[in-house]
């Protein structure tokens, strides 16, 4: 991988015993969070065969006719907001995205307290009958990525001068975990009127993104220009969400990004969102706000005109309000 996105080896952070290499990784993560808000992860320890199996199963699913995929449509998931949606059903800033996807989360049974109370984004996952291996491929990948998220947050904690387990013991003691598989069809020649995903930021703490070899992800610099994020299935891309911007008072910023598939073929991406506990309130820590602003710039207005540091309430409230704008029809149906 090349370009302006730094690469960090987190191998030392995956181990329980602290070491000098942990301090080095934490320093590099802190610098990437301040300078870019995106970085590539190596030393993550995930088996490449898991991603290959997930990619194969996902392609088989998206190759099915829409009427077959609709058997697990999101409307069937109700307030859990899980399942498949077709191209154009998800909105970014009110504009339909040129992608389809499968939404997955922690698999909650009917006896879960939040399921019984009808809390949004809680419930059972929906998987198709075919390909039969998709469910296992997804759950195996989620199991493999969870330790990566914990390791990255240990590095962030150390970089902020906090105890290594600060996130695990506090904000992510019971994390909100969501997972997506996105399929971006080839862009029609000469049609640049729509994006696979328009400019946006993510909502929580971390996004850990696996990709196929077909690029398309772009990050906005402070001067308004965009830089490509190279695609390499062996490198997991990490970007920061709104809650880390709030937590650090702007030392870290949730960097705007977008996607356009110009590869001429189908593109798959696999974003894993690792966020605060549903009922957590996210404070603003007394950490230095000395970001050099290489990408976003101090005082740069957010893409949505909002001030995430002014938010009051729980993370669940914040996430529900955001998702209601992405899938307004579904939100209305869930009451």
Which residues form the domain of 203?
Answer: 7-334
Helix or strand (DSSP H, E) at 262: none
Whether 69 maps to a domain, the answer reads yes
Whether 1 maps to a domain, the answer reads no
| Residue ranges in the chain whose pLDDT is less than 50 | 1-2, 291-299, 334-335
Whether 15 maps to a domain, the answer reads yes
In this prediction, residue 292 carries a pLDDT of 46
How many whole angstroms separate alpha carbon 56 and alpha carbon 226? 31
* DSSP 8-state assignment for residue 101: E
How many whole angstroms separate alpha carbon 291 and alpha carbon 130? 48
CA distance between the termini of the chain: 45
In this prediction, residue 294 carries a pLDDT of 37
In this prediction, residue 332 carries a pLDDT of 63
Whether 2 maps to a domain, the answer reads no
In this prediction, residue 191 carries a pLDDT of 65
How many whole angstroms separate alpha carbon 283 and alpha carbon 298? 20
How many whole angstroms separate alpha carbon 275 and alpha carbon 96? 25
Nearest in space to 275 (alpha carbons), one of 324, 228, 241: 241
How many whole angstroms separate alpha carbon 230 and alpha carbon 126? 31
* Total domain count, the chain: 1
In this prediction, residue 223 carries a pLDDT of 76
How many whole angstroms separate alpha carbon 66 and alpha carbon 266? 16
Q: Retrieve residue 310's tokens.
A: 């002014």
How many whole angstroms separate alpha carbon 32 and alpha carbon 239? 10
Q: Retrieve residue 315's tokens.
A: 């993370």
Nearest in space to 157 (alpha carbons), one of 239, 244, 249: 244
Give me the torsion for CA of 93, 6, 172, 207, rounded to 10°.
Answer: 30
In this prediction, residue 177 carries a pLDDT of 97
CATH number at residue 39: 2.60.120.330
In this prediction, residue 305 carries a pLDDT of 65
How many whole angstroms separate alpha carbon 122 and alpha carbon 105? 8
């Amino acid at each position: 991988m090349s370009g302006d996105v730094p690469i960090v080896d987190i191998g030392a952070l995956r181990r329980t015993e602290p070491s000098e290499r942990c301090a080095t990784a934490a320093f590099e993560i802190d610098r990437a969070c301040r300078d870019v808000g995106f970085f590539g992860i190596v030393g993550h320890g995930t088996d490449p065969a898991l991603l290959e199996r997930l990619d194969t199963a996902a392609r088989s699913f998206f190759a099915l006719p829409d009427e077959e995929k609709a058997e697990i449509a999101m409307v069937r998931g109700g307030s859990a907001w899980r399942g498949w949606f077709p191209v154009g059903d998800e909105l970014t800033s009110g504009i339909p995205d040129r992608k389809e996807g499968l939404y997955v989360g922690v698999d909650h049974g009917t006896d879960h307290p939040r399921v019984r109370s009808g809390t949004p984004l809680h419930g059972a996952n929906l998987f198709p009958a075919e390909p039969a291996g998709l469910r296992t491929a997804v759950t195996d990948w989620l199991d493999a990525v969870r330790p990566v998220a914990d390791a990255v947050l240990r590095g962030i904690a150390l970089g902020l001068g906090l105890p290594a387990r600060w996130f695990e013991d506090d904000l992510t003691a019971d994390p909100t975990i969501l997972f997506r598989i996105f399929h971006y069809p080839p862009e029609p020649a000469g049609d640049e009127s729509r994006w696979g995903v328009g400019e946006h930021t993510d909502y929580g703490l971390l996004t850990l993104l696996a990709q196929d070899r077909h690029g398309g992800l772009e990050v906005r610099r402070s001067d308004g220009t965009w830089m490509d994020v190279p695609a390499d299935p062996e490198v997991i891309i990490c970007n920061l969400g709104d809650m880390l911007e709030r937590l650090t008072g702007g030392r870290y910023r949730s960097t705007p990004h977008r996607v356009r598939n110009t590869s001429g073929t189908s593109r798959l991406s696999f974003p894993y969102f690792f966020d605060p506990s549903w009922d957590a309130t996210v404070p603003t820590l007394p950490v230095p706000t000395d970001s050099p602003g290489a990408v976003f710039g101090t005082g740069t207005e957010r893409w949505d005109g909002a001030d995430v540091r002014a938010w009051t309430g729980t993370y669940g409230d914040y996430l529900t309000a955001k998702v209601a704008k992405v899938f307004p029809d579904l939100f209305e149906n869930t009451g």
